[in-house]
Amino acid sequence: MAYEGQERATGIATVPPVVGPGYTPRSVNEKISAIVLTHPTSRGWLVGFGISFLLLLLLLYSVVYLFAVGLGIWGINQPVGWGFDIINFVWWIGIGHAGTLISAILLLLRQEWRTSINRFAEAMTLFAVACAGIFPLIHLGRPWFFYWLLPYPNVMGMWPQFRSPLVWDVFAVSTYATVSLLFWYVGLIPDLAALRDRSRSRVGRVLYGMLAMGWRGSARHWARYQTAYLLLAGLATPLVVSVHTVVSFDFAVGIIPGWHATIFPPYFVAGAIFAGFAMVLLIAIPLRKFYQLEDFITLRHLDNMAKVLLATGLVVAYGYMMETFMAWYSGSPYEHYAVITNRMTGPYAPLYWGLILCNVVTPQLLWSRRARVNVPLLFGVALVVSVGMWLERFMIIVMSLHRDFLPSAWGMYYPTVWDYTTYIGTIGLFLSLLFLFVRFLPMISIFEMQELVAEEEHGAPRRAATETAPAAEAVRVSG
């Protein structure tokens, strides 16, 4: 590993480049667009897409059966009214957060390494939000009335109840989906134009041409484009924080022990980024291998993402710690029973300890620099974290509900085969969309990579990510 060797030689944390050596704007363009335009469809892609598509069909089947028969096919009942549906909703929407984080927050922080991962991370966000959005809708008793959630004048003379976090969720998730789509599409416009101009087939030229909306790279357009992109990043940053905050309100606004904790908002946001970066790693590692993108998604990217994983994992662990401490400190028997006794020793205790192993213990490996650049190990840690974050939502939702205040109302939650098929089906939807995306759209932002390469090639000044251009005049501080 060049990265490691380099470091040992100098003894300090040298910063490896974010792009492999020897690239020009032209070769970047060719390498990325060739995956879409000229490479023949590989057998691996066909097999992968085929399997994902079969799983997607499983989702369709499960949902049609659900609509035909009703919610009784799932394991939810009294007292556990929220089961896999809401667990999966929170899990998926959390995964989505990393995409926006990479594209917006890292842009504002001028982290150039984000350039080669932001496009597919944003795509991942969209697909994860699509998967997430399915669950609250299909778990409505009458999903065909989902539009009752929206505020519109109706013959019943009723309006949504704006003091309910479930209504906040409708606004938060739909805003998030819309803004993520806009952000992703705006980022794609110049690349779609590049594909339009490189495509050899008429169909490609027409389709990419329509999507590119006549983009011609005018300097005036670029100036407004960059302003719009920065403004979108500035808007998306608080938005992404608000979305998982609102998801946490779905629980914390209620007064159920195990749900009603003031730390939920920041702890949910950290958990979302934690799960999201794990998923980005799970996607990035195979992609760079199968499409030979090691020069674009370098070990530095993996190292940085592993650091984010560790940092957010520690915040999540802090959340567990504070919940447990305060459950004891509060002196409330209900808090104590729900958060300590039942989680740690109750019927679901193995899942709780599994979650601690996945989310708290395993990420500690990432303190070691060597572990962070060990690709198979990192893949394994990311997988474990994804499982752990699913277990966390199981803990929060099921373990808090199945013990009601009165023991006579206690019960257990047993998911049915339909719970599993629906969950696996959404993974199929996610992967199908992802396969289509890498096949038909540039998975790495061409123009941003060109900009990066051109800067290194010519030493040409490049517009800084935040608007600090006047600073270049080195104006002296005059007070």
Partner 1 sequence: MNTPEPVSLRLTFFQRRAWLVGVAGLLVGAMGLVLNPAQFFRSYLFAYLFWLSIAVGCAAIVMIYHLVGGAWGFVIRRILEAATRTLPVLAVLFIPLLFGLSFLYVWARPEAVAADPLLQHKSVYLNVPFFLLRAVLYFAVWIGIAHFLHKWSLAQDRTGDPTLARRLETLSGPGLVLYGGAVTFAAVDWAMSLDPHWFSTIYGILWIVGQVLTALAFAILVLRLLARQEPFVQVLTPSHFHDLGNLLLAFVMLWAYVSFAQFLLMWSGNLTEEIPWYIRRLHGGWQEVGIVLITYHFALPFVLLLIRRVKQSPLVLAALAAGVLVMRLIDVYWFIAPEFHPTVGGALHLSDALLLVGIGGVWVGRFVGQLQKLPMLPLRDPQEEAVVARPETA
Partner 2 sequence: MARIYGLLAEFETPAELLAAAQRARDAGYRHMDAYTPFPVEGLAEAIGFRRTWLPVIVLVGGIVGCVSGYLLQYWTSVVDYPLNIGGRPLHSWPAFVVVTFELTILFAALAAVLGMLALNGLPMPYHPVFNVPRFAFATRDRFFLCLEATDPQFDREETRRFLERSQPRQVSEVEY
For partner 2, the binding residues (CB under 8 A) are 24-26, 29, 151, 157-165, 167-168, 171-172, 175, 178-179, 182-183, 185-186, 190, 193-194, 196-198, 209-210, 213-228, 231-232, 235-236, 238-239, 242, 246, 249, 447-448, 450-451, 454, 458, 460-463, 469
Instruction: Point out which span in 6-14, 188-196, 214-222, 292-300 binds partner 1 (CB under 8 A).
Output: 6-14
Contact 204, 37 (CB under 8 A): yes
Looking at residue 237, its amino acid is T
348's tokens = 């679901």
- Token code pair at residue 356: 């601690």
Q: What is the DSSP letter of 39?
A: S
d(CA 80, CA 398): 6
Q: How far apart are alpha carbons 296 and 288 in whole angstroms? A: 8
Measured from the CB atom, is 289 or 457 closer to partner 2?
Answer: 457
Least CB distance from residue 251 to partner 1, whole Å?
Answer: 10
Q: What token pair was written down for 99?
A: 């995409």
388 by DSSP, 3-state: which? helix
Among 5, 8, 9, 10, the residue binding partner 1 under the rule CB under 8 A is 10
Tokens matching residue 240: 């992404």
Q: Residue 294 in 3-state DSSP?
A: coil
DSSP state, 90? H
Could you give the CA distance from residue 159 to residue 414 in angstroms, rounded to a whole number? 36
Among 157, 214, 331, 407, binds partner 1 (CB under 8 A): 331
The identity of residue 423, as a single letter, is Y
* Stretch 156-175: interaction string toward partner 1, x if CB under 8 A: -------x------------
Work out whether 249 is an interface residue with partner 1 (CB under 8 A): yes
Q: How far apart are CA 306 and CA 362, in angstroms?
A: 12
Binds partner 1 by CB under 8 A, chosen from 9, 155, 203, 255: 255
Please give the backbone phi and psi of residue 193, each rounded to the nearest 5 degrees, phi first. Answer: -65, -40
Question: Closest separation between CB of residue 292 and partner 1, Å?
Answer: 31
For the bound state, the minimum distance from the C-beta of residue 185 to partner 2, rounded and expressed in Å, comes to 8
Q: Does 407 bind partner 1 (CB under 8 A)?
A: no
The item of partner 2, partner 1, none sharing an interface with residue 44, based on CB under 5 to 8 Å by kind, is none
Contacts with partner 1, residue ranges (CB under 8 A): 10-13, 108, 163, 238, 241, 245, 249, 252-255, 260-266, 314, 318-319, 322-323, 326, 329-332, 367, 461, 466-468, 470-477, 479
